[in-house]
Amino acid sequence: MSETNVVISGSGLWTPANTVTNEELVEAYNGYAEKYNAEHAAEIEAGTVTAKPLSSAEFITKASGIKSRFVYRKEGILDIDRMRPQFEARGDDELSHQAEIALHAARKALAAANKKPEDVDAVIVSCAYTQRSYPAIAIEVQNELGIKGFGFDMLVACSAATFALQRAYEMVKAGTAKCVLAINPELTSPQNNWRDRDSHFIFGDVATATVIETAETCTSEHSYDILSTKAVTSFSNNIRSNFGYTSYADDSAPYAPDKFFNQQGRKVFKEVCPMAAEHISTQLEALDIQISDVKRWWLHQANINMNLLISKRLLGRDATAEEAPIVLDRYANTASAGSLIAFNLYQEDLQSGDLGLICSFGAGYSIGSLVLKKR
């Protein structure tokens, strides 16, 4: 029996229509902070309440490289009396918000891969947060597209997309599916603490999707052999969110600060950067591929300083914008989707035989990567 070669045959990117710039965000946050400080002036003076610090657009750009972000719903985010997006409630018989954005990216990926729903055997929805526990968003998407087979959700924080691609690769390799649709509907804005100066600017909404199939069935214009996949996890509390249904049982506040995204940024930077560089270099070494042979680096898009440091550790010099494209300046941190946004926007120019690497890193800690070769 001949070995099954697995390829990425199509990808899709859906970008929301709404943007929030740093300037807009800072104006709203500072308005909220000033109001909070005025309302709690006595407690702040007595030392029982900590004053909210003010922010600036320059601070955000310097700290992260982010200049703007896309959001699924803008209404409510800049309202200093609300400071969170306003979604309309949908009934159980209506399409969920997350399935809606997943479908936008999924249809684009299927079109790019020249695939119809009947060609797909499995759907994976993998992201940092799902809006409900069950039924799975993946099964809802599967139903809307008319795909037979099966679907399931995966939550691996910022490595969710690469981990899903690896599960898809393994299914196709094992023959349990001939074609898999992996989708990353990153609806991060409801889980962002818009009242926290150190994290309110970090996240943006987006959806990406990827089709993985056998080389034998691939007919798309741009496709990539998957040469290698690699994943690693190492437990850390330095990135954490305690949101969950057990708040109902332990009587904790369901929307307390610890229930949102929290991180020890300096520790994450110090620990994850060398982990990611080592992860990538050993994966390439196992394939007998030199760092200099890699044409394109599609890295996780969380923080510009992390990307610059990791690419410099690998290359021994600063990477060019062509080698390691940056998208977080306009998309912000989109959790697991960042590396796939970069892949979507910066891959069609590659020539047959060119090598590229997709890599994510984030909470867990978790690191996932795939080495690709343009067909």
Angle, CA of 86, 87 and 89, to the nearest 5°: 135
Instruction: Just list the catalytic residues.
Output: 158
Contacts of 307-312 with CB under 8 Å at 24 or more apart are 309/269, 309/273, 310/273, 310/276, 310/277, 310/280
* 231, 156 contact by CB (below 8 A): no
Which residues partner with 119 through β-bridges?
none
User: Can you tell me the distance from the alpha carbon of 18 to that of 26, in angstroms, rounded to the nearest whole number?
Assistant: 17
SS3 81: coil
Report residue 72 as tokens.
Answer: 């699924």
- Sequence-distant (≥ 6) Cβ neighbours of residue 107 within 8 angstroms: 12, 145
Per the listing, tokens 């309440």 go with 49
Residues 294-350 have pLDDT tens digits of: 999 999 999 999 999 999 999 999 999 999 999 999 999 999 999 999 999 999 999
User: Can you tell me the distance from the alpha carbon of 95 to that of 106, in angstroms, rounded to the nearest whole number?
Assistant: 15
CB atoms within 10 A of CB 250: 7
- Give the pLDDT band (50/70/90) at residue 3: confident
Report residue 188 as tokens.
Answer: 């991060």
Which pLDDT does position 21 carry in this prediction?
98
User: Can you tell me the distance from the alpha carbon of 11 to that of 4, in angstroms, rounded to the nearest whole number?
Assistant: 21
- The overall longest dimension of the chain from CA atoms, in Å, is 77
Which residues partner with 210 through β-bridges?
11, 182
- Sequence-distant (≥ 6) Cβ neighbours of residue 135 within 8 angstroms: none
SS3 160: helix
Give the closest residue to 153 by CA, choosing from 83, 96, 70.
Answer: 96
Average pLDDT over residues 264-270: 94
Angle between the 265-286 and 304-315 helix axes, to the nearest 10 degrees? 30
Is the bond into 135 cis (omega within 30 degrees of 0)?
yes
CA distances from 337 to 171, 265, 355 (A): 21, 20, 20
Say what the pTM is: 0.96
Which pLDDT does position 134 carry in this prediction?
96
Average pLDDT over residues 283-293: 98
Q: How many CA atoms lie less than 13 Å away from 76 in the CB half-sphere? A: 13
Residue 1 reports pLDDT greater than 60 = no
CA dihedral 122, 348, 375, 227 (to 10 degrees): -60
SS3 98: helix
Report residue 310 as tokens.
Answer: 């990791």
Residue 2 reports pLDDT greater than 90 = no
Average pLDDT over residues 187-212: 97
Which residues partner with 209 through β-bridges?
12, 183
- Amino acid present at 279: H
Average pLDDT over residues 224-249: 96
Residues 118-131 have pLDDT tens digits of: 999 999 999 999 99
Residues 56-103 have pLDDT tens digits of: 999 999 999 999 999 999 999 999 999 999 999 999 999 999 999 999
Residue 135 reports pLDDT greater than 60 = yes
Taking the alpha carbons at both ends of the chain, their separation in whole angstroms is 23
CB atoms within 10 A of CB 37: 17
Q: How many CA atoms lie less than 13 Å away from 160 in the CB half-sphere? A: 27
Residue 370 reports pLDDT greater than 80 = yes
Average confidence score pLDDT of the chain: 97
